[in-house]
Structures are given as C-alpha cells and as structure tokens.
Amino acid sequence: MTAQLSSGTAACPGCIATPAEPARPIPEDVQIALSLPGIHCSACIANVERELNAHPGVEDARVNLTLKRAMIKAAPETRAADLIPVLERAGYEAHELDPGALSATQADKAGRDLLMRLAVAGFASMNVMLLSVSVWSGATDATRDMFHWISAAIALPAIAFSGQPFFANAWSALRVRRLNMDVPIVLAILLALVTSLWETALSGKHAYFDAALTLTFFLLAGRYLDYRTRAAARSAAEELTALEVPRAIRLVDGVEQEVSVTSLAVGDLVLVRPGGRMPVDGQIVSGTSELDRSLLTGETLPIFAEAGLVVSAGEVNLTGPLTIRATAVGEDTSLHRMADLVAIAESGRSRYTSLADKAAKLYAPGVHILSALSFVGWYIYSGDVRTALNIAAAVLIITCPCALGLAVPAVTTAASGRLFRKGMLIKHATALERLAEVDTVVFDKTGTLTSGTPELTNLGDHSRADLEVALALAEASSHPLSVSLAKSARDAGIKPARVEDVVEVPGYGTEGTYRGQLVRLGRAGWTGGDEGNQTAAWLAIAGQTPAAFLFADSLRPGAAEAVHAFRDAGKEVILISGDTKGAVQALAGKLGIETWISEALPQDKAAHVQALSDKGRHVLMVGDGLNDTAALAAAHVSISPASALDAARVASDIVLLGNDLSPIADACDTAVKATKRIRENFRIATVYNIIAVPLAVAGLATPLIAALAMSTSSITVSLNALRLR
Amino acid sequence: MEVLAYLIPISLFLGGVGLMAFVYTVRSNQYDDPEGDARRILSDEWDDKPKP
C-alpha cells in the first residue's frame, strides 16, 4: 500500500519494469482499489478481470459488482496510475480509491454480527414454533411438558446470544435512569422466559417461548434493515472520500517525491502542479499561476498568485506549477479549523428527536404501567401470584413493539433505496424525517447552483479574425477560461489562425506571433484591458484595442427545475453566496429567486441560517464549499453535491451523487411520503394493540393469539413500507 | 408416539445443519457481492472456488 505512494509520477506501463527512482523496499504485495462506475454486466466483470490479470505485476484482480469496485493484489511496484489507462482503453471508466479510507467497509463486523444473531433467532424460532404448533393443536400431559422443556432448551441459549444488542441498549439507558424502546423489549423477553419456565416446571398449559423468540427475530430484522441502510450510505460516502487520494509531491534537495499528505511536515517544500489542490496551508516560494478559491470563498474570479502569497489548503492551482512552503499541515490547516465552527453549529441540531424516539417516550411508560396494573388487579382479584404474573407477561408480550421496531426502519430502507436509485445518498438516520419538515431552502451559488465551469457569453461580439487568433492562443492553455473559450469557438465552426511561437506565461495568459505581430490572450493588466468585476479574458492584437471575452458561470443541470419545484411547492428559496453582488444578482434574476445575499462570509452564512431557524423556520441548506460548511451544519437538514469538499460532505445529511440538481425537489416529496408511511405504521401497530390488549388484560390471550397478533402486525407494517418503492 | 423420540432429534439436527451452513456462508464472505455472483454464473470463465 505504501509502495504505490513512493515512486515517481510517470504513468506508462513500461515504467513498471524500470521504476523511475529507487522505491523504498517493501516486501509484501500492494492492495489497489479502483472504482468502476460504468460496469453493469457479466461481460464487464469478465473483461475487467481479464485486462487486469493480463497486466504484468497484477497477481489477482477481483471485481465486486455490487460495490462497482475492483480489488487488486499486485507486486509492490505496481501503481494504480498504470492500471487505469489499461481499463480506459478497454472502455471502462476507472478511478483510484484510497484503500486506507475504505478499510472500514471491508471489515463490516457489526453487520455480520447482527446478521448472525438474526440467523440464530430465526432458526431457533422456527424450531420452537414447530413444537408450539403441536402443543396448540392438542398435545397434552407428558408430551406437552416435554415439548415445553425442549423449547426452553432451545430458547434460553438462543435468546442469550441473539438478544444481546437489546440487553446492552436497555442497560445503558437504565444506568443513566432513562427509558428507551429497548427497556420494555428486554422486560417482555425476560418476563416471558421466566413465567414460561415457571409454568413448564408446574406443567402448566401456556408457555411463551415461541413469542419471546419471534419477538427477538422481528426486532433484530428491524435493526438489521436499519443497519444495512446506513451501511450502504456510509460505504458510498467513504468511496467519495477515497476518490481523493491524499498525495502530494514533496521536494527534497530538488528531487520530487510522491508522498502521502499525512506525512508532510511544517517547513516542507511542496510542488503543486496545475490542476492540483493545495494539500497544506503555506506560502508560495516560487512560480506564478492563478488560484481558484471558489470552494473556500465562493468567488468565481481566479486570483493571481506569485511568490510570497499565502495559500490555504483546498485552493486549486490553475496554470503554472507552484512551490509552496508548508506553514500548517493536517489538523492545523484552515480546512480543518473549520471543523470547530461545524461542531458548534451541530450541537443545535442534535436536539431533534426522531419519530421513533417520540413514540418510545409515549409507549415505554404506557406499557409498563398497563402491565403493572393488570398484575396488581389480578392479584387482588384472584389472590394468586402465578395467574397475575402470567397475565402481566401476556400484556407485555402482546404490546411489545414488534411492529414499532419495524415501522421506521422498513420505511427508511424503502425510501433510501428509492432515493439512492435517483442518485441521492441519505447519510443520517433522521435526515428523511427532517427533510419532510422543510419550508425554506437556502442555496449556495458557486459549485451548487452553478457547475463552477465558466461559459463564454459574448462570442457574437467578436470578428471572425479575432476569434481565430483567440482560438489558436486558447488551445495552448489548460486554464478553465481558455478551455471554455476554445470549446465555444470550435462549436461555432471557427478554425484556429496560424499563430507561431505560442507560449503560456503562467499567471498571465498565452502569447504568440501572428503575422509578425505579438498577440496575447490573458489577464486585463497584462493585455491592456480594463479590470472589471466580471470574469473576462482579454485578446490583445497590436494596433487594435483589446477585446474582452466575457464569461459567466454555467448553470448546473436541473438547477432551474429544482428552484421552480421548490417555489411551486410553496417553499421560500434564498440564495446566499460569497461571490460579488453583480454575479449573485444576475443568477438570482435568471432563476427567479427573490431573496439573495452576496459577499457573505462563512460566519454570515451560518448566522443567516441560524436566524431563520430562530424564527421557527425549517431550513434546507444546499452547499458545496468550505464556506458553506458551518451553514450546512447549522441548518435543519443539509444537502451537498458529490463534487463538494470532503468537509462539506461530512457536515451534510444527504449527498447528491450525480451532476443533476433536480432530484432534490423529488427527495422532499419522497421524504414527506415516507414520514406519512411511518405515521401510518404507528397507527396500524396501535390498532393491533387496541384489539389485543383488552384480551390480554382480561386474561383471554393465549400464546397462539400472541403469535398471530405479533406476526400479522409486523407483516402489515413491512408491506405498507414497501408501497413506497 | 415413540416415533417422536427419533423425529425430534432429527428435526433439531436438521435445523442445526441449516444454521451451520448459514454461519459458514457468512464467514466465507459469500454475501459480499450478491449482484456480481448472480452474473458470474453466466460467465464462461468460471472459478474453481470462491476467491477470498
């Protein structure tokens, strides 16, 4: 794993045989993980595995279609950069994943543990049910007693093993003198076992071993569903994190070394290539370039960078290579300092109580009182502890929240699955419930409503000759403005002029010789143009006044639809951006957003969201940048696109996987429906209790009635949840 | 009713075998890639055994 970090940067298969520089000796093989978003069939699996296994150095490659991922075991000097082109030639999109960030998913111990307990409870309950059915259908005397004893022998160890999650939860609640859903569950299971044992010992008629086991089984099924939903979201979120492999190029005595970001120290010289992101806070030592700060501040205009400028982790270098000296690394960088703001904002949100907790608060004391009252009542009436205890146990078992335990997880699983297919990842357990309450939507501009790529707006204002020269110059650079200019010009059918000696001057633009004259395309100050507040590239041809190519940030697909859908649904839409007034106003006008705030600092954004919450609004915040992080955490519920910074994704409840924004409005709909289903499920469970509880209190409930009531209510609740798919 | 003396141990044994089989499949990672396994069966390049 470390070997792939240590070698040089060349990316050709030939370099495997002769590494560009001596790698540190690593004896064992490396694990490489690749994300393959495009694979979908058996032919894809076979092709990818064949291509990878044919590659020298690869020892074993295995595709996981469920996770759309390939795990590769390879010789130490093999690097992912060599394997990706192999797959891309075969027609498969591939991205490297950081195996370190994925490790948590592979060792899915908690899920496996829960599944094992579920299986034991399931098998045990089936066996006990078989014996119980014989008792219900008329086994008597010694046969019945023997069946009860065998049931006890199965039920006691099975519950001791599979009921552990409930025992642990109930104990941790009782220790701090609180009641949760697990306390009545544990009490019901234990009381059922104790009275059944007692009855069996006295060769009584009714034993509830089957009820105790089915109860455990259904409740574990609910837990497992809940766990799976969140594990799927967590593993997808981890994959997003793992896509940004944290590497940097460290300069040691002028020699480049590719190292992991965590191993950088203060004072190290770090080389950042064009297109790369600053791994640390620092100061530029040499090089000139332009920096894109939009993820940190929301500004779309790139800033000029030269030696002496202080840079922050997360900024993107656009044109020329920069060498920076690290002044803060890891946890001390401005990126991570933002976490403090997030922690403060988040403390406000944790006060939300989920529907399940609200139900448990009403329910737990209710059933305890009811069961205690029936015990006391029957004891006074009959004077027999055994009868009274039997009835109290029956009341607890019948009211036990089988259906309640399934009511929420079944619905959230169905709803999350549906949203996942639409490209949304529900990270937080109560995110759907909170999303359903939203009445105000706050959008960030750069990178959220806009895609962060510039679009040429005034192509028609220029003469064909100018455009031909501009295209020739633009094609020599990978600056976002040049790329966009070149694309628009090509689309308009422009052919590049013959410009000679084209060179890129990092931080300024490109220049060349056209018909013996110097021509330049670049910053206003360098070409003689006027610095305005709109993003522009200037074309200077000797003897002509410089011509401006104006750019606007292009709208993200689905942005207009999402905004309209929210407005149609009667929600207030607000735009808060760190960008300049002109740019924000233009976009707000274009989308029909009436309330907008420009030049907002990160603290301002969070304060605005907080102010809205204080007025009783339920705010949905949609944002992607570091400057949105605090606001994302302060909002009632938050969404960030997959392109957002890691910090922003961590702070938000829902991640939008695709490029399109329109599923957001859909998600609100689904959330409202899901909450409705959850409430319906609670009502169904209550109706069953209303019918069955009087029977239990009256002493008429038999184990058969308990088993029927429990199973039918659980199954109805699950079926009702499935209607959401 | 003497037949119960055989039938009950047999039913418990069979249940136990089912449980053991399930535990084995979980332990040997057979639920890690359900979708992939469903497709692999159609591939000509079959595996001798599930790889770890």
What is the DSSP-derived secondary structure letter of residue A262? Answer: G
**How large is the average pLDDT for residues B19-42?**
83
What does the alpha-carbon distance between residue A292 and residue A303 come to, in Å, rounded to a whole number? 7
Count the Cβ atoms, other than its own, within 10 Å of residue A96.
20
Residue A18 has pLDDT above 60, yes or no: no
Residue A5 has pLDDT above 60, yes or no: no
- pLDDT tens readout for residues A104-159: 445 477 788 888 999 999 989 988 988 888 888 887 788 888 889 999 999 999 99
Reported confidence tier of residue A1, pLDDT bands at 50, 70, 90: very low
Residue A639 has pLDDT above 50, yes or no: yes
**SS3 for A244?**
coil
Of the candidates A227, A228, A235, the one whose C-alpha atom is nearest the C-alpha of residue A105 is A235
Lowest mean pLDDT of A76-85, A463-472, A616-625, name the range. Answer: A76-85
What does the alpha-carbon distance between residue A147 and residue A77 come to, in Å, rounded to a whole number? 64
Residues of chain B with C-beta less than 8 angstroms from the C-beta of A116: 23, 26
Residues of chain A with C-beta less than 8 angstroms from the C-beta of B12: 127, 150, 154
What does the alpha-carbon distance between residue A224 and residue A206 come to, in Å, rounded to a whole number? 31
Considering A96-105, A526-535, A564-573, the range whose residues carry the highest mean pLDDT is A564-573
Encoded tokens for A557 = 């697909």
Residues of chain A with C-beta less than 8 angstroms from the C-beta of B8: 150
Average pLDDT of the residues of chain A:
81
User: How many residues are recorded in chain A?
Assistant: 725
Q: Do A66 and B45 touch (CB under 8 A)?
A: no
Q: Do A65 and B8 touch (CB under 8 A)?
A: no
Across-strand partners of A324? A270, A284
Q: Do A119 and B26 touch (CB under 8 A)?
A: yes
What does the alpha-carbon distance between residue A266 and residue A329 come to, in Å, rounded to a whole number? 6
Q: Measure the CA angle with vertex A702, ends A696 and A704; round to 5°.
A: 125
Q: Cβ of A421 under 8 Å from any chain B Cβ?
A: no
Residue of A nearest to B22 (CA): A119
Q: Do B51 and A60 touch (CB under 8 A)?
A: yes
Alpha-carbon distances of A500 from A18, A479, A507, A514, rounded to whole Å: 38, 19, 21, 6
Task: Give the rounded percent of residues in chain A with a pLDDT score beyond 90.
Answer: 6
Domains of chain A in start order, with CATH, are: 1-107 (3.30.70.100), 110-235+352-412+673-722 (no CATH), 245-341 (2.70.150.10), 424-439+557-657 (3.40.50.1000), 453-554 (3.40.1110.10)
Of the candidates A669, A686, A683, A685, the one whose C-alpha atom is nearest the C-alpha of residue A724 is A669
Residue of A nearest to B1 (CA): A143
**SS3 for A269?**
strand
pLDDT given for residue A685 in this prediction: 84
Q: Which residue has the higher pLDDT, A82 or A244?
A: A82
Q: Which of A31, A65, A131, A149 has the most B C-beta neighbours within 10 Å, making it the best mutation to test the interface with B?
A: A65
Q: Do A120 and B11 touch (CB under 8 A)?
A: no
- Sort strands A637-641 and A654-656 into parallel, antiparallel or unpaired: parallel
Considering A142-156, A292-306, A317-331, B28-42, the range whose residues carry the highest mean pLDDT is A142-156
Q: Do B15 and A112 touch (CB under 8 A)?
A: no
**How large is the average pLDDT for residues A569-585?**
85
Do residues A59 and A47 make contact, with C-beta atoms less than 8 angstroms apart?
no
- pLDDT tens readout for residues A471-526: 888 888 777 788 888 888 888 888 888 888 888 887 788 888 888 888 888 887 78
A684: left (phi over 0), alpha (psi -120 to 50) or beta: alpha
- pLDDT tens readout for residues A653-692: 888 877 788 888 888 888 999 999 988 888 888 888 888 8
Q: Do A116 and B33 touch (CB under 8 A)?
A: no
What is the DSSP-derived secondary structure letter of residue A345? Answer: H
Q: Do A66 and B33 touch (CB under 8 A)?
A: yes
pLDDT given for residue A19 in this prediction: 42
Q: Shortest CB distance from B39 goes to which of A45, A67, A127?
A: A45
Encoded tokens for A239 = 């994959």
A228 to chain B, closest Cα gap in Å = 13
Residue A583 has pLDDT above 70, yes or no: yes
Encoded tokens for A680 = 């319906």
Q: Shortest CB distance from A45 goes to which of B12, B26, B43?
A: B43
**SS3 for A105?**
helix
Lowest mean pLDDT of A452-456, A499-503, A545-549, name the range. Answer: A452-456
Q: Give A85-92's long-range contacts (Cβ < 8 A, gap of 24+).
A: A85/A11, A85/A13, A86/A13, A86/A51, A86/A52, A86/A55, A87/A34, A87/A36, A87/A48, A87/A51, A87/A52, A90/A47, A90/A48, A90/A51, A92/A36, A92/A38, A92/A39, A92/A44, A92/A47, A92/A48
Do residues A284 and A323 make contact, with C-beta atoms less than 8 angstroms apart?
yes
Residues of chain B with C-beta less than 8 angstroms from the C-beta of A62: 51
Residue of A nearest to B29 (CA): A112
Residue A8 has pLDDT above 50, yes or no: no
Alpha-carbon distances of B3 from A225, B9, B10, B14, rounded to whole Å: 41, 11, 11, 17
Q: Which of A62, A113, A147, A224 has the most B C-beta neighbours within 10 Å, making it the best mutation to test the interface with B?
A: A62
Do residues A548 and A538 make contact, with C-beta atoms less than 8 angstroms apart?
yes
Reported confidence tier of residue A22, pLDDT bands at 50, 70, 90: very low
Annotated catalytic residue A646: no
Alpha-carbon distances of A351 from A290, A603, A629, B46, rounded to whole Å: 44, 22, 19, 54
Encoded tokens for A496 = 């590049």
Q: Shortest CB distance from A45 goes to which of B12, B32, B36?
A: B36
Reported confidence tier of residue B45, pLDDT bands at 50, 70, 90: low
Q: Do B26 and A112 touch (CB under 8 A)?
A: yes
Please name the amino acid found at residue A376.
V
What does the alpha-carbon distance between residue A266 and residue A268 come to, in Å, rounded to a whole number? 6
Residue of B nearest to A115 (CA): B26
Across-strand partners of A605? none
3-state SS string for A641-692: ECCCCHHHHHHCCEEECCCCCCHHHHHHHHHHHHHHHHHHHHHHHHHHHHHH
Q: Which of B33, B37, B42, B48 has the most A C-beta neighbours within 10 Å, making it the best mutation to test the interface with A?
A: B33
Residues of chain A with C-beta less than 8 angstroms from the C-beta of B18: 123
**Helical H segments across A244-333, by residue range:** 294-297
Task: Give the rounded percent of residues in chain A with a pLDDT score beyond 70.
Answer: 89
**SS3 for A33?**
strand
Residues of chain A with C-beta less than 8 angstroms from the C-beta of B15: 123, 126-127
Q: Do A66 and B8 touch (CB under 8 A)?
A: no
Encoded tokens for A542 = 């000797």
Residue of A nearest to B21 (CA): A119
Q: Which residue has the higher pLDDT, A551 or A353?
A: A551
Lowest mean pLDDT of A77-91, A340-354, A559-573, A621-635, name the range. Answer: A340-354
Count the Cβ atoms, other than its own, within 10 Å of residue A616.
7
Q: Cβ of A524 under 8 Å from any chain B Cβ?
A: no
Of the candidates A680, A708, A706, A712, the one whose C-alpha atom is nearest the C-alpha of residue A693 is A706
Q: In chain A, positions 75-114, which contact chain B (CB-CB < 8 Å)?
A: 112
Task: State CA A553 to chain mean position distance.
Answer: 26
What does the alpha-carbon distance between residue A170 and residue A15 come to, in Å, rounded to a whole number? 59
Task: State CA A204 to chain mean position distance.
Answer: 54
pLDDT given for residue A376 in this prediction: 93
Alpha-carbon distances of A630 from A93, A289, A340, A341, rounded to whole Å: 34, 30, 9, 6
What does the alpha-carbon distance between residue A345 and residue A329 come to, in Å, rounded to a whole number? 24
Q: Do B45 and A154 touch (CB under 8 A)?
A: no
- pLDDT tens readout for residues A397-416: 888 777 777 888 888 888 88
- pLDDT tens readout for residues A235-262: 776 776 666 667 788 888 777 877 777 7
Q: Can you state the angle between helices A42-54 and A80-89, rounded to 10 degrees? A: 130
What does the alpha-carbon distance between residue A228 and residue A171 come to, in Å, rounded to a whole number? 24
Encoded tokens for A357 = 């907790």
Q: Which of B7, B10, B35 has the most A C-beta neighbours within 10 Å, making it the best mutation to test the interface with A?
A: B35
Q: What are phi and psi of A434, to 5 degrees?
A: -70, -35
Of the candidates A569, A338, A344, the one whose C-alpha atom is nearest the C-alpha of residue A435 is A569
Q: Do A63 and B36 touch (CB under 8 A)?
A: yes
Q: Which residue has the higher pLDDT, A14 or A556?
A: A556
Q: Which residue has the higher pLDDT, A316 or A152?
A: A152
Across-strand partners of A597? A576
Strands (E), A55-153: 58-64, 69-74, 95-97
Residues of chain A with C-beta less than 8 angstroms from the C-beta of B35: 65-66
Q: Cβ of A252 under 8 Å from any chain B Cβ?
A: no
Count the Cβ atoms, other than its own, within 10 Å of residue A478.
12
Residues of chain A with C-beta less than 8 angstroms from the C-beta of B44: 46
Q: Shortest CB distance from B15 goes to which of A46, A50, A123?
A: A123
Q: Given A444, A624, A628, A653, which residue is catalytic?
A: A444
pLDDT given for residue A24 in this prediction: 46
Q: What are phi and psi of A462, to 5 degrees?
A: -110, 150
B interface toward A at CB cutoff 8 Å? 1, 4, 8, 11-12, 15-16, 18-19, 22-23, 26, 31-36, 39-40, 42-45, 51
Q: Shortest CB distance from B39 goes to which of A65, A119, A150?
A: A65
Across-strand partners of A621? A442, A638
Question: In this structure, is the dihedral angle defined by the CA atoms of residues A486, A490, A494 and A500, taken in order, positive or negative?
Answer: positive
Q: Do A66 and B35 touch (CB under 8 A)?
A: yes
Please name the amino acid found at residue A548.
A
What does the alpha-carbon distance between residue A32 and residue A75 come to, in Å, rounded to a whole number? 10
Residue A26 has pLDDT above 50, yes or no: no
Count the Cβ atoms, other than its own, within 10 Å of residue A205.
12
What does the alpha-carbon distance between residue A190 and residue A387 come to, in Å, rounded to a whole number? 17
What does the alpha-carbon distance between residue A363 and residue A344 come to, in Å, rounded to a whole number? 33
**How large is the average pLDDT for residues A697-704?**
83
Q: Shortest CB distance from B36 goes to which of A50, A60, A64?
A: A64
Residues of chain A with C-beta less than 8 angstroms from the C-beta of B1: 143
Residue A13 has pLDDT above 60, yes or no: no
Residues of chain B with C-beta less than 8 angstroms from the C-beta of A65: 33, 35-36, 39
**How large is the average pLDDT for residues A326-334?**
76
Across-strand partners of A520? A511, A540
Encoded tokens for A206 = 């009714």
Residue A226 has pLDDT above 50, yes or no: yes
pLDDT given for residue A118 in this prediction: 92
Q: Which of A66, A141, A228 has the most B C-beta neighbours within 10 Å, making it the best mutation to test the interface with B?
A: A66
